[in-house]
């Protein structure tokens, strides 16, 4: 079961995307709702108090390159809860290592009934990489389906090559963690005990031989 409690049919429809939306160039300066309560956009959207309040935003993830810190920063710290992540927008940047903090912040906000805007400067490469990984993990999707889901709502996204490689790698990471989490603790104990018993018997056989 996905952790956002969305039905399989709902997720399927989300992946296919809205068929009645005509993407216009100026829409890249706006934010779009990717999942219920989760918005993705550029810094420009985070500067408009009317936009934020109109969407009912309560939490904002501000992802920026350190050299952008003088301009890309929280604008309304008294009105919204912020998480600020300094991330280099280049292909060598490790985003998998930084993702858990954003993941926890977004999930807690949604659990509390809040709405989250995730943005970077342009909303093209940096912040979409984090949102794709969030969608992948919480909707239990392949990296391709997660990317399509996000891209079908914000058509202009284009994570750089390094981020795209890590998005692909993250699929096996989150699936492995999910498998371990779903493995009954009693069954795990039995596996460990059986392996220890087999090792002990192998040692005894060698000693006898």
**Closest alpha carbon to 125 in 81, 64, 185:** 64
Task: Tell me the pairing of strands 38-41 and 32-35.
Answer: antiparallel
User: What letter does residue 28 receive in the DSSP assignment?
Assistant: G
Cβ atoms 143, 136 nearer than 8 A: yes
Sheet holding 38-41, edge to edge: 32-35, 38-41, 116-119, 59-64, 81-86
62 is catalytic: no
Task: Tell me the pairing of strands 81-86 and 38-41.
Answer: unpaired
**Closest alpha carbon to 146 in 160, 120, 164:** 164
Catalytic residue among 31, 62, 120, 139: 120
Element (H, E) at 98: none
Known catalytic residues are 120
């Amino acid at each position: 079961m996905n952790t956002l409690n969305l039905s399989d049919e709902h997720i399927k429809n989300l992946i296919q995307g809205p068929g009645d939306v005509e993407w216009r160039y100026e829409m890249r300066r706006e934010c779009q709702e990717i999942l219920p309560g989760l918005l993705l956009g550029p810094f420009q959207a985070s500067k408009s108090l009317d936009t934020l309040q109109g969407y009912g935003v309560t939490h904002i993830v501000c992802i920026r390159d350190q050299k952008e810190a003088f301009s890309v920063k929280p604008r309304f710290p008294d009105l919204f809860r912020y998480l600020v992540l300094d991330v280099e927008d280049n292909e060598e940047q490790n985003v998998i290592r930084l993702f858990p903090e954003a993941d926890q912040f977004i999930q807690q906000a949604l659990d509390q009934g809040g709405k989250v805007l995730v943005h970077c400067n342009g909303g093209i490469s940096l912040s979409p990489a984090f949102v794709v990984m969030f969608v992948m993990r919480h909707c239990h999707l392949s990296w391709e389906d997660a990317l399509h889901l996000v891209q079908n709502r914000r058509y202009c996204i284009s994570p750089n090559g390094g981020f795209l490689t890590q998005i692909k790698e993250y699929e096996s990471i989150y699936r492995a963690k999910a498998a371990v989490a779903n493995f009954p603790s009693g069954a795990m104990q039995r596996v460990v005990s059986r392996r220890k018993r087999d090792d002990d018997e192998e040692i005894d056989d060698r000693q006898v031989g």
